[in-house]
């Protein structure tokens, strides 16, 4: 009889102590400050838009292609349709401006052969424009047509394999011509003996504009290095937003996020529902009962979401994360595209 009383008293004491500990945990969790996710500022939103834009991604591809290892260069960004379109537009604008300026400045009499230099530059732009069209036709038209040709026609086209090699030689020759023409223009233009601004102001302005544009083009690799290796890391540090990571790992779509499994969390003494592998997920949550994004413990009747890497987070937290970066916050494993 005494032993039964002692057992009952011990069980009552243990239950009361466990109840007190549970109350202490609830009070501590209530008193702990909750992290409220504030909306990003205007500068951060602008940085997000820039890092996800097509031109920023193209610049990163160009930089990695020029400075990356030969074993992992990927596709040539200079043969992309966007880059070829940019080249076509720039060359066409230069041809129109040069021809129009030469037409309206017939009465001007420059000291040095300025008309000869502009005419040679205009002819080089026309040849380069034809080269851009040839590259576009070779990459996007001829290669697409060869997939539907018969064997006889493919053998006939094998004779035309010399065309890419010939086009590369012509492209190298044009680049060499523009380099020499650029040096000659600088020597003639900046020599004090050939100053001709008063005699030919329109041609003078056109020459300095073309020389400035060519100087920017030749310094493009250095400017790209300053942008991606100096300016972008500095802006990312000041804003607290990694622009390089956002450009390489874009956010997931709503359809991709909705396909991920989710369920309602319950206390450890009950089971989870619904889930395909409830035991493994339950063990995982018991080992790590906190959301690594908001650092808050999982509570009863809260919605959770599981990523393909088996990591579990709050549904609202991980959905906001995946809209920015389509990878796990812990192991950085990306979602399947």
Q: Indicate if 120 and 264 belong to the same structural domain.
A: no
222 and 137 both lie in a single domain:
yes
Report the domain count for the chain.
2
Is residue 141 in a domain? yes
Residue 34 lies in a domain: no
Q: Are residues 121 and 148 in the same domain?
A: yes
Answer yes or no: do 260 and 117 share one domain. Answer: no
In terms of domains, do 129 and 215 share one?
yes
Q: Which of 190, 179, 269, 249 minimizes the C-alpha distance to 215?
A: 179
Whether residues 63 and 187 share a domain: the answer is yes
Calculated CA dihedral for residues 225, 227, 231, 237, nearest 10 degrees = -90
Domain presence at residue 310:
yes
Whether 329 is covered by a domain: the verdict is no
The 3 state secondary structure assigned to 252-263 is: CCHHHHHCCCEE
Of 186, 206, 236, which residue constitutes the final position of a domain?
236
- 132 and 206 co-located in one domain: yes
CA atoms within 13 A on the CB side of 217: 14
Q: What is the CATH number of the domain that holds 269?
A: 3.30.40.10
How many of the other CB atoms lie within 10 Å of CB of 197? 12
Instruction: Determine contact, residues 336/330, Cβ cutoff 8 Å.
Output: no
Question: What tokens appear for 35 in the block?
Answer: 């992290």
- Quick one: 214 and 108 in the same domain? yes
- Any domain includes 92: yes
Residue 299 and residue 265 in contact, taking contact as beta carbons nearer than 8 Å: yes
Q: Please list the pLDDT of the chain residue by residue as tens digits (337 residues).
A: 444 444 444 444 444 455 455 555 544 444 444 444 456 678 878 887 887 787 887 888 788 777 765 445 556 788 888 888 999 999 999 999 999 999 998 888 887 788 899 999 999 999 999 999 888 887 776 554 444 444 445 555 554 567 677 878 888 899 999 999 999 988 888 875 566 677 888 988 999 999 999 999 999 989 999 988 888 888 888 887 777 665 554 667 777 888 888 888 876 654 444 444 544 555 555 555 788 888 888 888 888 898 888 888 899 898 888 877 777 888 777 776 5
One domain for residues 279 and 145: no
Answer whether 48's CB lies under 8 Å from 246's CB: yes
Asked if residue 1 belongs to a domain, the reply is no
- Under 8 Å between Cβ of 241 and 48: yes
Is 93 in the same domain as 66? Answer: yes
198 and 298 fall within a common domain: no
**What is the spatial distance between Cα 274 and Cα 310, in angstroms, rounded to a whole number?**
15
Give the distance between the most distant pair of CA atoms in the chain. Answer: 127
- 30 within domain boundaries: no
| 337 falls within a domain | no
If asked whether residues 196 and 312 sit together in one domain, one would say: no
- Residue 271 belongs to domain spanning: 249-324
Question: Partners of 263 in the beta sheet?
Answer: 304
Closest CA to 311 of 257, 261, 237: 261
Last residue in a domain, options 168, 201, 236: 236
Residue at which a domain ends, from 236, 258, 277: 236
Which of 241, 247, 324 is closest to 44 using CA atoms? 241
């Amino acid at each position: 009889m005494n032993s039964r009383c002692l057992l009952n008293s011990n069980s009552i004491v243990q239950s009361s102590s466990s109840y007190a500990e549970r109350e202490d945990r609830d009070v501590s969790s209530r008193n702990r400050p909750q992290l409220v996710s504030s909306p990003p500022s205007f500068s951060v939103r602008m940085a997000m838009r820039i890092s996800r834009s097509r031109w920023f991604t193209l610049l990163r591809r160009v930089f990695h292609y020029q400075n990356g290892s030969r074993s992992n260069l990927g596709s040539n960004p200079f043969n992309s349709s966007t880059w070829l379109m940019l080249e076509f537009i720039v060359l066409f604008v230069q041809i129109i401006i040069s021809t129009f300026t030469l037409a309206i400045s017939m009465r001007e009499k420059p000291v040095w052969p300025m008309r000869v230099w502009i005419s040679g530059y205009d002819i080089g732009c026309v040849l380069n424009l034809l080269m851009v069209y040839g590259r576009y036709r070779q990459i996007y038209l001829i290669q697409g047509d060869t997939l539907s040709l018969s064997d006889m026609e493919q053998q006939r086209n094998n004779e035309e394999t010399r065309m890419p090699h010939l086009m590369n030689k012509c492209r190298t020759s044009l680049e060499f011509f523009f380099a020499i023409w650029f040096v000659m223009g600088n020597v003639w233009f900046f020599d004090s003996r050939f100053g001709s601004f008063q005699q030919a102001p329109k041609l003078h302005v056109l020459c300095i504009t073309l020389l400035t544009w060519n100087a920017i083009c030749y310094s493009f690799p250095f400017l790209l290095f300053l942008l991606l290796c100096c300016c972008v890391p500095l802006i990312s540090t000041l804003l607290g937003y990694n622009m390089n990571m956002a450009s390489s790992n874009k956010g997931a779509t709503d359809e991709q996020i909705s396909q991920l499994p989710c369920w309602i969390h319950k206390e450890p003494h009950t089971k989870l529902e619904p889930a395909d592998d409830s035991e493994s997920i339950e063990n995982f949550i018991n080992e790590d009962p906190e959301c690594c994004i908001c650092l808050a413990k999982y509570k009863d009747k809260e919605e959770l979401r599981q990523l393909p890497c088996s990591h579990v987070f709050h549904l609202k937290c991980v959905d906001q994360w995946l809209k920015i970066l389509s990878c796990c916050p812990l192991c950085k494993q990306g979602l399947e595209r």
